[in-house]
Structure 1
Amino acid sequence: MDQTTLANARIPAATYRLQFNAAFRFQDAERIVPYLDALGVSDVYASPFFKARAGSMHGYDIVDHNLLNPEIGSSEDFDSYCETLRRHGMGQILDFVPNHMCIEGGGNPRWLDLLENGPSSIHGNFFDVDWSPVKKELTDKVLIPVLGDQYGTVLENGELVLSFEDGAFFIHYYGHRFPIIPKTYSPVLTLRLSELGRLLPPDHEGHQELLSIVTAISHLPFYTERDPALVQERYREKEVIKQRLWKLCRDNWAIKEFINENVRIFNGEKGNPRSFDLLDGLLRNQVYRLAHWRTATDEINYRRFFDINELGAIRMENHQVFEETHRLLLELVREGKVTGLRIDHADGLYDPTDYFRRLQRACFLQTRLALLPAAAGEQEAPDNEKGFAEGILELYDEMISVSPQSKPFYIICEKILGKSERLPEDWRVYGSTGYEFANAVTGLLVDTGNSREFDGIYARFIQERPNFAEIAYQKKKQVMRFSMGGEINTLGHYLNTLSESNRHTRDFTLGSLIKALTEVIAHFPVYRTYTATRKVADRDRQYIEYAVAKAKRRNPAMSESIFTFIEDVLLLRFHDSTGREEQEQWIDFVMKFQQLTGPVMAKGLEDTAFYVYNRLVSLNEVGGTPERFGIPLEAFHGQNIERTKSNPTAMLTTSTHDTKRSEDVRARICVLSEAPALWHDCLRRWSRMNLGRKVAVHGVRVPDRNEEYLLYQTIVGTWPAHDPLGAIQRPFVERLKEYTLKAMREAKVNTSWINPDALHEEAALHFVETILRDVPSNSFLADLRRTIPGIIRCGLLNSLSQTLLKAASPGIPDFYQGTELWDFSLVDPDNRRPVDFEIRAAMLKELQAAERERGARALVRELLETMDDGRVKLYLTWKLLSHRREHRTVFELGKYLPLEVHGPQSDNVCAFERYNDDKTLIAVAPRFFTRLAAQSRGLLLGADVWEDTRLVIPFESTGRLYRNILTGERLVTSLWEGKTSFPLAAVLADFPVALLETFEEE
């Protein structure tokens, strides 16, 4: 793998996302490296592979940033895999998780240490725990909302079990394991001491040692102790106590049995509530308070990833935390085994701007230190490394002072951008992971002219006229009330404290402040702002003023002065009397506010509103705007032009592990936008046919009309493209049922994750099962099979256009695992199903051989005749990525020019030119294939479809030779109405999309 140069990162040509887990290990990845290389991929884009919770399917639940995940493979497996990448000249971009860790199950040593040592733990500042929370009973404690029922019920059911292991005591709750503070061992060790005296005389050395241990325990400093010397003493002595206790039990059978019997007594007897008093007393003295999982809504006092209790946020703003969590990562960067980074959930960080500054600086240092042996000699380098490091960092700082936006390492960030929102200019990253491109290309495939018709179809079917903005507002408030109430309450109390310091704001009540704060967040137009100093950016100021103004208008009965106070704080409009310390508190409040708005937006919008507003669900994508019915062609070109100027090497994606639907599902659903009459007729027929299959629950037929509307779109979008037996396979039905259940719970209308309605859910799943039952009497299934082939074909053609646009647009194309063939996956976990790479590798070899033997033109005709098998998409992907790799400069640095199309089908084409001094490329991607199908008698190619539609090539002479990279055909520009052009009938004579390049006759 190449090392970075002094100022320039190693930029990938194309990336391929791999999902590592126990079913896909380093050895599996190593085996497919030759295939990915042959496909044209330059860099593997790896899911997190540091040690995660046992059984993790995605790797985001990390328990140790400095260990490889043993379920994925050993360090030797990893090294072998990386060496294979190096031999093929490929890099590796790692998905890194800086915001949170998994704290569930007892596998996180830092979290266990915190639970054993409280606020004085050496990891006390590692996690974002509020040790002085609103609920005073939790002072110096941490609430663990993990129990499946009320604490007392769980305790008296015997579900909390004390154990003695290797000299230490623990509490077990199913798969969870919690340490007992050594300071509280004494009640267990001293229970029934008189009984011990009958087994061992008081002068027995074992008896004496036990009493000595109890005495040592009594001298341990408390877990609230902050004096460094006493903290060090407790850490040292508690481990000595554990060792002495374990040795005593190994050496003395009577002592071991005595302790085991005490443990049994502490664990109580089910049916005898008083028998649990001892265990209850022990638990009351721990750092943690075990509680019913529902208490997280109001009382949780550690920051989480969104509302997921088992993912605890870490304080990356703490430089020690940064150093500890990046140690292994930076080693891999230094060794060249990681050549780029994707930073997960940057919006969750306290100060993303500062984080990216530190990360670039650290990566620069490691890539330069990697050159030390060559620069200083093998023997000299280790001794002089510290001096070299200081010199390298001085060089870096000097470079940054001259060019503040220098980015020596390829880093991209997961960032969801709102309408017209751009990445903060001071982030030292190469761009985002590409959600905005996915939504732009999807929007391009939507027929915007049919927006009003679709509004009417949707409203009539569900029998109401939904407003997306209102749904989003209500769902964000719902999330703040039922999922993140604890965070809102904490922030409200913080704001109340700030208000008390000024006589003009001290009369605001806590309740009114929390309500006003909730309203402002509910109206926030973007995921977050990025204030970190006393200066608020103009862009952030506009967002805050907008949200406050909307909140004011929405709540005329509330005092306007409360909203003005919140606006003053968020905009840091300090009063003359605001002292320095209070100003720092305001800034801290703003930064904590910023960490909260993102999760509320994500949970309220993506994970709730997107499952409620179902007008055309291909638009309900991460970072999408479902209320906007597609985008004009000019807007797509405008985004590409802007990316060329600002982030030409940002990632472009169409499917990810987070997308609600795969690229091919969205491309097919977009076809419906072209045919509102067809869709309306289908809905009318299908709902009538399936009415008798609905079951009444609570007096209402299930599924409700909105759920039914979503289901029909989902079936259309995911129906298998190739079903030669004409039969619905069981896995397809099960996948739809799993998705339906998740969609209903996410919508939080008739059921939810917190309060599942089993009757409603069972009735809805029964409906899915029955309407897809493959029996002769199922008229719906018969009608679906008659209707869907045309939609499928147009959807596949949409997918080919989408693939071309991704590969040719400004940016770095990313391919999610398996999507080089047709992939009709839904939201996770459906999109994490195993991928058959052997089939793909074999297909690619066959395609390459066939092209050599028969030529591209004959091959593509065959591929179009058998589109259902997906080889046509694999062929297109291979040809595009291979060409990108061979001609990187024009794709990465070339200018972008939208091209005009004239003629009867001019609206059906997106075309643009990429060019630099040496080369010109033209991409031609048709759309709205149902219109073209009306013109065609066959494959949607040639003059039957395109008639006299022409592609205008400005600044080009007539008689210029071009070659179609996909078919090998040669084309010559000609003059048409005074303009140099190509007839689209010739450009698209043999294949539905085209990539043309200039060339000279040999």
Structure 2
Amino acid sequence: MTVPRSTLRLQFHRGFTFDDAARRVECFAALGISHLYASPITTAEPGSMHGYDAVDYTQVSAEYGGEAGLKRLVDALRAHDMGLIVDIVPNHMGVGGSSNAWWLDILEWGRHSTYARHFDVDWHSPDPALRGKVLLPTLGASYGEELAAGRIGLHFAPDGGRFYIGYGPHVFPVCPVDYAAILQGADRADLSALAHRFQGLTTQPADQPRAAEARDALREFVEREGESAIEFVLQTYAPEDPLTRDRLHRLIERQHFRLAWWRTASDEVNWRRFFDISTLAAVRVERPEVFEAVHALIFRLYREGLVDGLRIDHIDGLAEPREYCQRLRQRLSELRDTAPYVVVEKILGRGEPLHDDWPVDGTTGYDFMNDVGALLHDPAGAEPLARTWAEITGRSASFADEARAARRKILAENLSAELDRAARALHRIARDSLSTRDFTYTTLRRVLVELVVHFPVYRMYPQNGLRSAADNVYFEQALDGARASLPRSDHAALERVNAWLGGSTEDAPPARPGAQSQQAQGGAPPPHAGSSRRSAQTLFSQLSAPLAAKAIEDTACYRYGRLLSRNEVGSDPGEFALSVEQFHAGNLERAQRFPHAMLTTATHDHKRGEDVRARLAVLSEIADEWGATLRAWSTLNAPQRRAPDGTPISSVSQDKSDAWAPGPAAEAMLYQTLVGCWPPALRADDEAGVNELAERVAQWQLKALREAKLQTSWLAPDEAYEAGCREFLFGILAPQRRDGFLKELSAFVERIGRAGALNSLQQTVLRLASPGIPDLYQGTELWDFSLVDPDNRRPVDFATREMWLPQTQTPPSEFLADWRNGRVKLAVIQRVLALRAHLPELLSQGTYLPLTVRGVHASSVIAFARRHGNAWAVVIASRLATGLLGSDTDLPLVEPAQWADTAIEMPPDLSARALFDWLSPAAPKVDDHGLLCLRDALAAMPVAVLMEDGVPRS
């Protein structure tokens, strides 16, 4: 297997192509990267900036440079002995435009489409208006309103000889079965002759080739006679006239889709989406033919040696993640002799293991990002910060309260259709048994709501219809919560649902007499009890996973503001801090179970850049001071508040209500955001720089307010309130306040900036030296003060990085004095990656040994050793050091004398040996008692990587 030493994540789009990346390969190699890690490379919706809305799995994106451009990039990588890992998206495709041929085919032919079973469509909806149809919630207003306004019309595509319903940029194919009636409506002999070719067509697959031939004849006719001939046909369906508009409506009603207002999606959509996004349709990759179609290009690229590994997006969206990983590994192993490197995007709860029977190399690193982030926080700050948050905002001090409320809201308003589908699956099981047939749909839905509301992780993974012991750890928590929430009259139904969802195989109902499998029509109820239960289990998992994502990451994390550095993808904001011992335990487990898992601290999905989080973590060490600062700033900026309608107000009552913009919670989170992302070199009197920052924060603020779904939302935006919030932001950052709030803000950032930089260097070294494969996100080689997307996907200044990289022999400590420009971080990354190249087995396979620290400031240090054979590396980092940073220096460094008697108990093999620091000129010596004094080890840098050998000289 080609295991990376290190990876660099790049986001490709039409503004940053394969050729753009190829021109930077030498820079990446100089940094020490072994593999580029690319965002999805298949063809996405035109103009996509992320690639997760694939419309064609079979083609490399032409916008990125096509397959030829990809090969040029790989050639450049191979010239530097580098490889390529690509992100693949097997769970969903983009269906929001007119570029997805698979989707258009099912709109045209319905359940008899070649691709009807490629998508997770419920063709047997209980709604008669949707049976055999696909709901298309794309209209900007109600169907009747849009039809009457003439915004929906019949059109003809001459290049394909196709009629389609058009709405803005959207294309909805008309079924060829209706072509005969359409052409005859013009009452012209030549068109009637063409209509005859379509007479008697059905949607059956056997008739579809004849339809294609008839369309070719129609296309040739239009080419010969001109498009004006077809205008006669279109006029008979013109939406402007009531008579022809009614004919258009009746034509639309006969199609295999139902056009609807976008607001109907949450309640009525009859196909599985990615989360609640109605422009992304889920793919049934568990079907063998779909699996092969989805992966055909990637398999070929892997076989040809262009691709070395895969990152699997949203593994929890798949029906059977275990089986998917096993099938993927088997197919890849058949294509090349070397085993592929495969990691999965998986959000793990605290204590939740990645399953050993998934043949993958680990996760993409959210679990490590959570651990190293929590390590930066002082547990003593948890209670006072929570108390301050509750007092200022009137909201709960507990994240769990916000999470449960958010789950209920998302179920009711965003995932109601998905909830109904899962409840119907349970209801079908109940109806199959005499003992349970009186459990009503409403009762089962109520039970299901409580189970998923209290389910503590993304999903379960039953095998052969039964939950594992690992699954039951979390399912029992959901059961306990449901029992406490449900009336006793529902407990009997709850216990049966528990059994059906994998708790037991007892009392399984027999198959219904005469039941026939309708699976061939796509999504029909399974034919026997075991299949019915497995279907219900899958639907439960495909409900609990998006609910967790939408309710926790995309709602509660925007409502709860104890400390925003813990509100991150893959983290539990209710878990405030992690001890050194807990961090070591996580590293030891990873070293044993998944030694090649990715280690990341920044991703394309992060809500705040890694250095924003590192700086905000400092507030946990000065919780009382921060609470006083919040109150002072709120009082200072009260004149800038706006009424809920956005108009200025002079004073506001102190009743803790949100009857003003932005409101106490949003205001408190705004101050944290400003503190976190304020650039180190920005001055309060830099009007242009402050305005640029304000624009970035305003973009974050709008997203945060809508994601919180309190005063405004994506579904029902309150534009007046949003405008008031924006005015408040720009008001407090206005140039005339450079001697007021702006001065205080910049001074506070200066006050904690050094400690934030120290935290950043700590998490950087831990990522580079812990068991696993360090992953860098584009641009984070320097300070990363980005906010949530699209801010974290801004263009990267590669030129500066290229200019600073050549000085490989200059120790990072030489750049500490100018730490604000971020060059010290770049140097640390380059130097430790050089160590990974110099002694690759040491940090990739070496034993992980936690080291004990003793002395007065032992709690402010983390240390461990890596050993492989006779080679050793000792990694040391300052932590929770705000109180140790003196005022006599501007450096993010604890003065050596401050460490006093603090020392590390070194392994016996290193006793009385001189060690060399790869990050500074220091050469501390282990004394005769086996102790390494921190005043020696961290004299020049807040972090150290000690070796018996010095840095190799070129």
TM class by smaller structure: over 0.9
Instruction: Quote the offset at 1:516 in angstroms.
Output: 1.1
1:667 matched to which residue of 2? 614
Q: Distance in 2 between matches of 1:526 and 1:444?
A: 22
For residue 464 of structure 1, report the CA deviation from its aligned partner: 4.0
SS at match of 2:279: strand
2:488 is aligned with 1:517: no
8 A contact 1:935–1:945 mirrored in 2: no
Amino acid aligned to 2:262: W
- Indicate yes or no: 2:580 matched with 1:611: no
Alignment partner of 1:135 is 2:132: no
Other-structure match for 1:995: 945
Q: Give SS of 2:671's match.
A: helix
Which among 914, 922, 939 is matched to residue 969 of structure 1?
Answer: 922
In angstroms, what is the RMSD of aligned CA positions? 1.8
1:660-702 Cα offsets, whole Å, 9 max, x none, are 1111000000011111122122112100110111012168121
The reply on whether 1:182 has 2:202 as its aligned counterpart is no
- Runs (5+) with no aligned partner, structure 2: 512-527, 646-657
For the residues of structure 1 that align with 2:748 and 2:102, how far apart are their CA atoms?
A: 57
Find the counterpart in structure 1 of residue 677 from structure 2: 718
Answering whether residue 43 of structure 2 is matched by residue 51 of structure 1, we say yes
| Preserved CA contact (<8 Å) 1:351 1:532 | no
Which amino acid letter does the alignment assign opposite residue 77 of structure 1?
G
How many pairs were matched up?
Answer: 919
In the alignment, which residue of structure 2 is the partner of 1:704?
Answer: 663
Alignment correspondent of 2:327? 358
Conservation of the 8 A alpha-carbon contact between 1:63 and 1:103: yes
Q: CA deviation at 1:960?
A: 0.9
Question: Take 2:665 and 2:951, find their aligned partners in 1: how far apart are those partners?
Answer: 60
Identity of aligned residues (%): 38
Deviations 1:410-432, CA, capped at 9 Å, x for gaps: 10000000111010111000110
**Please, which moves more after superposition, 665-674 or 547-556?**
547-556
Amino acid at match of 1:416: I
492-501 or 809-818: bigger deviation: 492-501
Cα deviation, residue 161, structure 1? 2.2
Counterpart-to-counterpart distance in 2, 1:562 and 1:950 = 60
Matching residue of 2:734 = 773
CA separation of 1:776 and 1:662: change in aligned 2, threshold 3 A? closer
Cα distance in structure 1, aligned partners of 2:311 and 2:47: 23
Superposition pairs of residues 526-925 of structure 1, within 5 angstroms: 526-556=457-487, 558-576=489-507, 578-579=509-510, 581-697=528-644, 700-723=659-682, 726-728=685-687, 729=689, 730-776=691-737, 779-845=740-806, 847-848=807-808, 851=809, 856=811, 860-861=813-814, 863-925=815-877
| Amino acid in the other structure paired with 1:779 | G
- On the 8 A contact 2:303/2:335 being kept in 1, the answer is yes
- Call closer, same or farther: CA 1:524–1:92 in 2, change over 3 Å: same
Give yes or no for contact 1:414–1:432 (8 Å, CA) kept in 2. yes
Shift of the alpha carbon at 1:961? Answer: 2.1
Relative to the length of structure 1, the TM-score reads: 0.90
Match of 1:315 in 2: 284
For 1:955 and 1:579, how far apart are their aligned partners in 2?
Answer: 67
| Alignment check: 8 A CA contact 2:396 2:402 kept | no
TM-score calculated relative to the size of structure 2: 0.94
Matching residue of 1:145: 137
Work out whether residues 684 and 738 of structure 2, in 8 Å CA contact, stay in contact via their aligned partners in 1.
no
* Cα offset, 1:577, TM superposition: 5.8
The counterpart of 1:984, out of the listed 927, 931, 934, is: 934
Deviations 1:155-203 (A, max 9, x none): 111111221122211111111111111111233211241xx3xxxxxxx
Which one of the candidate residues 106, 117, 127 is aligned to 1:125?
117
Write out per-residue CA displacement over residues 70-97 of structure 1, whole angstroms, 9 at most, x where no aligned residue: 1110322211111111111111111110
Q: Is 1:88 aligned to 2:80, yes or no?
A: yes
1:469-495 deviation per Cα after TM superposition (whole angstroms, max 9, x unaligned): 121111111111111111111111121
Instruction: Decide whether aligned partners of structure 1 residues 476 and 957 sit closer, same or farther in structure 2, where only a CA change above 3 A counts.
Output: closer
Bigger Rg, structure 1 or 2: 1
Alpha-carbon distance in structure 2 between the residues aligned to 1:752 and 1:176? 25
| Counterpart-to-counterpart distance in 2, 1:294 and 1:79 | 43
Query: Secondary structure at the residue paired with 2:455?
Result: coil
2-structure distance, mates of 1:363, 1:756 = 47
- Distance in 1 separating the partners of 2:364 and 2:353: 13
- Matched ranges for 1:170-209 at <5 A: 170-193=164-187, 196=188, 207=189
TM-aligned CA deviation for residue 309 of structure 1:
0.5
Establish whether residue 211 from structure 1 lines up as the match of residue 182 from structure 2. Answer: no
User: Any conservation in 2 of the 1:942–1:986 contact (CA below 8 Å)?
Assistant: no
C-alpha distance in 2 between matches for 1:595 and 1:41: 36
Unmatched 5+ stretches in structure 1: 1-8, 197-206, 226-230, 371-407
CA contact (8 A) 1:544 1:571 kept: no
Q: What residue number does 1:261 align with? A: 232
Do residues 249 (structure 1) and 210 (structure 2) align?
no
1:75 to 58, 67, 71: 67
- Which letter maps to 2:670? L
Q: Residue 535 and residue 810 in structure 1: after superposition, are their counterparts in 2 closer, same or farther (change >3 A)?
A: same
* Secondary structure, aligned partner of 2:734: coil
Match of 2:518 in 1: none
Alignment counterpart, residue 432 of structure 2, candidates 484, 488, 501: 501
2:650 aligned residue = none
2:151 alignment partner in structure 1: 159
Kindly state the Cα deviation for residue 145 of structure 1 after the two structures are TM-superposed: 0.6
1:12 aligns with 2:4: yes
Letter in 2 for 1:703: P
The CA distance in 2 between the partners of 1:28 and 1:577, in whole Å, is 59
CA shift at 1:778, angstroms? 5.5
Partner Cα separation in structure 2 for residue 957 and residue 878 of structure 1: 26
- 1:274 Cα shift? 4.1
Shift of 1:603: 0.4
Any conservation in 1 of the 2:266–2:415 contact (CA below 8 Å)? yes
The change in CA–CA distance for 1:777 and 1:952 in structure 2 (over 3 A counts) is closer
Residues 911 and 924, structure 1, Cα contact 8 Å, conserved in 2: yes
| Deviation digits for residues 374-393 of structure 1 (CA, Å, limit 9, x no counterpart) | xxxxxxxxxxxxxxxxxxxx
Task: Find the counterpart in structure 2 of residue 6 from structure 1.
Answer: none
Partner of residue 423, structure 2? 492
Query: How far apart, CA to CA, are the structure 1 residues paired with 2:154 and 2:531?
Result: 45
* C-alpha contact 1:18 1:47 (8 A) present in aligned 2: yes
Q: Quote how far apart the aligned CAs of 1:731 are.
A: 2.3
Name the SS for the 2:343 alignment partner: strand
From the superposition, tell whether residues 887 and 493 of structure 1 become closer, same or farther in structure 2 (CA, over 3 Å). Answer: same
- Measure, in 1, the Cα distance between the counterparts of 2:798 and 2:130: 52
Tell me, in whole angstroms, the C-alpha distance in 2 between the residues paired with 1:55 and 1:236: 33
Pick which of 461-470 and 668-677 moved more: 461-470
Q: Could you tell me how far 1:557 is from its partner in structure 2? A: 5.0
Instruction: Give yes or no for the alignment of 1:278 onto 2:247.
Output: yes
Is the contact between residue 936 and residue 944 of structure 1 (CA under 8 Å) also seen in structure 2? no
The whole-number CA distance in structure 1 between the counterparts of 2:349 and 2:396 is 24
